[in-house]
Structure 1
Amino acid sequence: MKRIQQSRGLTLAAAVTGLGLVLTACSSGDGDNTSGGGDAEPTFDCADFEQYGDLEGKTISVYTSIVDPEAEEQRASYAPFEECTGATIDYEGSREFEAQLPVRLEAGNPPDIAYIPQPGFLRSLVADFPDAVQPAPQPVIDNASEYYTEAWAEYGTVDGTLYATPLGANVKSFVWYSPAAFEENGYEVPTTWQGLLDLTDQIVEDNPDIKPWCAGIESGEGTGWPATDWLEDVVLRTAGPDVYDQWVNHEIPFDDPQIVAALDEVGGILKNEDYVNGGLGNVASIASAPWNESGNGIPDGTCFLHRAANFYQANWDEGIEVAEDGDVYAFYLPGASEDDKPLLGGGEFVTAFSDRPEVGAFHAYLSSPQWANAKAEVTGQGWISANSGLDPELLQSPIDQLSFDLLTDETYTFRFDGSDQMPGSVGAGSFWREMVSWISPGQDSQTTLSNVEADWPSS
């Protein structure tokens, strides 16, 4: 989802407080240093950075959509690299990143490194500027092979060549709930999709005055994107990852019967007046309910279930404890069976536009556990990495720790957010709009998906 990525990052960053990102100077003693602030200060040993060489006097430019205040955390995470190698990282965050990066490439003024928020955008850059996007050097390839699952590395690969490695990550296959409400009613976390539907029916039977689900898809210019996540998650569960890939890549029509069936399955929840919209109104209210407020019914007791990603934790009111025994928590959105474990998520990718040694060294650092751990130590809740070398003890939220476990567990079948892989006019355009129409005024599934199919670019 192209435009919404930036605003999500700002939402998360706004929830992070007390980071105190004041860095200490590098000691000339034993090379054991600290940086960062807040409750935890990242530690690093400059001996670990000898692999990158002496980069004194070298400057590496970084261009990204990640802007302040979250950008402060990014810059803080570069301190070990800068202090131990002598390099300087020139960081530029822009709200016009996706529009301006191709302009800069066309003008022959590329950054050294850019953080690409969608695999589809990466593919278009490689196609349009084949001489500008640089293949990953061997140290980056080695890190990708050692610390990331095959699926994550594949999303940074175009025509068999690795160009980009993951930076941050998120998990979308979650259902938020109240542990206390579950305990009070004797409910158990479901482990299959049918079990989730059975639980929903049980909630209806036990609580005639409370709708089990609450949902909202209003998100300013990005209104509709939460509904696309619903469909993508259910396509993975009803049609499977292979069909999902074919659909996302338009190898089958957008309105293929399997996708229509999946949207009907989503409608079995979101269009069922018995199931929604807890504390917010009827089915139509989903279209106008703000996404960032739509889960409030969980701690308020006006709904039991809310499907949203790990980063939704930034939207809970201050004082709401997110924990397995806290006020709210989340469970994995189950598959068709306990052994069926599809996982939907997203993130950003590090891409280089220069083959200078110092640029390759910084790319290698960003793909390493060293960087992932440094970033975790200067960040509050709401940030994770798919890097298996990340120390999960550094993650400050139980949901972040759970997300990391799922992302690095090879038994889960990860797939990247579908709309982020589609052409921008579809993934951040007609797909969003048509899902709103599907909710209100209540357009049928076939018409909804056929309208998106008609909008798919011909080339």
Structure 2
Amino acid sequence: MRATVTKKSWAVRASKPAAVLVAAALLSSCAHNEEPSTGTSASKSLTQKAESAALTAAGGKKIGGKLSLIGVNAGAEGAVIESTLKPFEDATGIDIDYTGSSDANTLIQTRVDAGNAPDVVNLPNAGSLATYAKAGKLVPLTFMDQSKLKSDFAPTLLSSATVDGKLYGIWNEVDNFMIWYNAKTYKGPKAPADWAALQKWAKSASSGDTAPWCMGLASGAASGVSGAQFISNLFLYESGPEKLKQFAEGKLPFTSPEVASAFKLFGKIATSSKMVKGGATAALNTPTVEAGNGMFSSPQKCSMLGWGNYAGGLITAANAKVKPVTDLDFFGWPAVNKDYAKSQLVSGHVMYAFNDTPQVRAFMKYYASSEAQSLLADSGHWVVANQDVTTATYPNALIKKSAAQYKAADSVSLSPVSQLPAPVVMALYKGIVAYVQNPGSLNSILAGIEKTRTGATS
């Protein structure tokens, strides 16, 4: 295997035009909450099973050849990806050239334009998959067992990677969302009946020195990204999976009452000096990746954080004395409408292919398997998309709990941020910042985002 990995700082990456993918890549690559697996006997057993699955995917033959793969995971996360590729290489004789870069989207587009597309890519955005598929650039996965895929993956994940009735992509890593809290100081409900119950406690606690909510929206050119995920969760839990799907597909406009309502619920927190210490100004200027640190500062600034499963890794990395579960824990995002309490919002990485070769076919079959995705799970870095992977596979408490939450959902919805065209997502981010600055301008802000959407999809 030849691996090329590049990783730039958050500030540099967020200044890129592809800040949409960069933001998602950074966040989803930070989901390791505790000590990753270090080659236990369980890991060796999983490796043997992965080798067997790889050989089966290749038709029982060591077919050899080469395969190029480009993804966003670099550094330690890139090394985890490489560890899942090695059993495939050993079993099939296929040499994988893996490139992990925060500029993956640019690298891929450049190669596609030059007529030298990589064999396979792994990106945190289904919108790019749809664009390439509609242009006739991708390989439909008709050679894979469709009934097995339907059994192993959430319907929404499959539909998000389907264009004109053909499946093109396989989700591997997924990030779900929850409410994080300081387990030693938090006095609110840990299993609130609904959003109103949680906000009732937040209001009662808003007169103290510690604000109920942590909030950080500053992420360079991607400022507003955490707000977009917060709003998406509120939308899902108030208006339901079907409405969210319509919104992500552009069938429900930004000017709809459902979108406005989710923004307003978010605004009651982000623009309030009682809900967020320092109010809107602090929310806008606090770096997104540092938002949860206020739960462990001295004096403590805030009590809880609504964000993805990657928050655990960010918080424990920045606060050396913070221990998972003992000090930092989470509960599921409470529903605004109890009818949608068993729903789940996710983002993540989807893998798709530009070239149709025996090596590519074998690899796509392999990476969709529970054996390959069990290796990802065993690393302790991510929750995986294949629902046949058991929660016992995860080696640490917070990721295990996150995986259990994902598997327990009656329905899984993909975040609109992972589906909308990049110009629309950037307009959304900017609109969120503008709304927090001036809540009275919500209608005109949403109309402006909708204008961008109609232009991007026309």
When normalised by structure 2's length, the TM-score is: 0.86
Aligned: 1:351 with 2:349: no
Return the letter of the residue paired with 1:437: A
Which residue, 294, 305, 328 being the options, matches 2:291?
Answer: 294
C-alpha separation in 2, matches of 1:133 and 1:227: 32
**Aligned residue number for residue 26 of structure 1:** none
**Aligned residue number for residue 178 of structure 1:** 182
Counterparts in 2 of 1:65 and 1:140: CA distance versus 1, 3 Å:
farther
Cα offset for 1:236?
1.3
**Aligned residue number for residue 164 of structure 1:** 169
Return the letter of the residue paired with 1:286: A
**Aligned residue number for residue 271 of structure 1:** 271
Counterparts in 2 of 1:12 and 1:240: CA distance versus 1, 3 Å:
closer
**8 Å Cα contact 1:387/1:408 also seen in 2:** no
**Aligned residue number for residue 425 of structure 1:** 423
Q: How high is the sequence identity, in percent, across the aligned residues?
A: 22
Cα offset for 1:105?
2.3
C-alpha separation in 2, matches of 1:358 and 1:398: 36
**8 Å Cα contact 1:19/1:38 also seen in 2:** no
Counterparts in 2 of 1:48 and 1:38: CA distance versus 1, 3 Å:
closer
Q: Which is richer in helix? A: 2
Aligned: 1:220 with 2:239: no
**Aligned residue number for residue 329 of structure 1:** 329
C-alpha separation in 2, matches of 1:49 and 1:188: 43
Deviations 1:318-360 (A, max 9, x none): 231121xx11111111113545233211011111222222211
Output aligned runs, 1:182-193, within 5 Å: 182=186, 185=187, 187-193=189-195
* SS in structure 1 of the partner of residue 303 of structure 2: coil
Deviations 1:217-244 (A, max 9, x none): 1112211111111211111122222222
Structure with the bigger RCO (C-alpha within 8 Å, sep 6+) is 2
Aligned: 1:396 with 2:391: no
C-alpha separation in 2, matches of 1:61 and 1:337: 46
In structure 2, stretches of 5+ residues that fail to align are 1-19
Counterparts in 2 of 1:40 and 1:360: CA distance versus 1, 3 Å:
closer
Return the letter of the residue paired with 2:274: D
Deviations 1:352-386 (A, max 9, x none): 22222221111111000110112233x23x31102
Output aligned runs, 1:441-456, within 5 Å: 441-456=438-453
Counterparts in 2 of 1:258 and 1:43: CA distance versus 1, 3 Å:
closer
Which residue, 21, 27, 47 being the options, matches 1:8?
Answer: 27
RMSD: 2.4
Return the letter of the residue paired with 1:376: A
Output aligned runs, 1:28-427, within 5 Å: 36=39, 41=44, 42-45=46-49, 46-51=51-56, 52=58, 53-128=60-135, 130=136, 132-172=137-177, 174-182=178-186, 185=187, 187-204=189-206, 208-277=208-277, 281-300=278-297, 301-316=300-315, 317-323=319-325, 326-341=326-341, 342-377=343-378, 379-380=379-380, 382-411=381-410, 413-427=411-425
Return the letter of the residue paired with 1:295: G
Return the letter of the residue paired with 1:283: A
C-alpha separation in 2, matches of 1:18 and 1:189: 28
C-alpha separation in 2, matches of 1:273 and 1:110: 50
Residue range with higher mean Cα deviation, 362-371 or 396-405: 396-405
**Aligned residue number for residue 440 of structure 1:** 437
Cα offset for 1:58?
1.7
Return the letter of the residue paired with 1:57: G
Return the letter of the residue paired with 2:264: D
**8 Å Cα contact 1:299/1:327 also seen in 2:** no
Counterparts in 2 of 1:49 and 1:239: CA distance versus 1, 3 Å:
closer
Cα offset for 1:37?
7.1
Cα offset for 1:209?
2.5
**8 Å Cα contact 2:376/2:384 also seen in 1:** no
Cα offset for 1:252?
2.8
Cα offset for 1:101?
1.9
Return the letter of the residue paired with 1:166: W
**8 Å Cα contact 2:267/2:439 also seen in 1:** no
C-alpha separation in 1, matches of 2:307 and 2:377: 22
In structure 1, stretches of 5+ residues that fail to align are 21-35
**8 Å Cα contact 1:19/1:39 also seen in 2:** no
Return the letter of the residue paired with 1:169: V
C-alpha separation in 2, matches of 1:142 and 1:350: 19
C-alpha separation in 2, matches of 1:49 and 1:239: 42
C-alpha separation in 1, matches of 2:55 and 2:361: 14
Counterparts in 2 of 1:405 and 1:188: CA distance versus 1, 3 Å:
closer
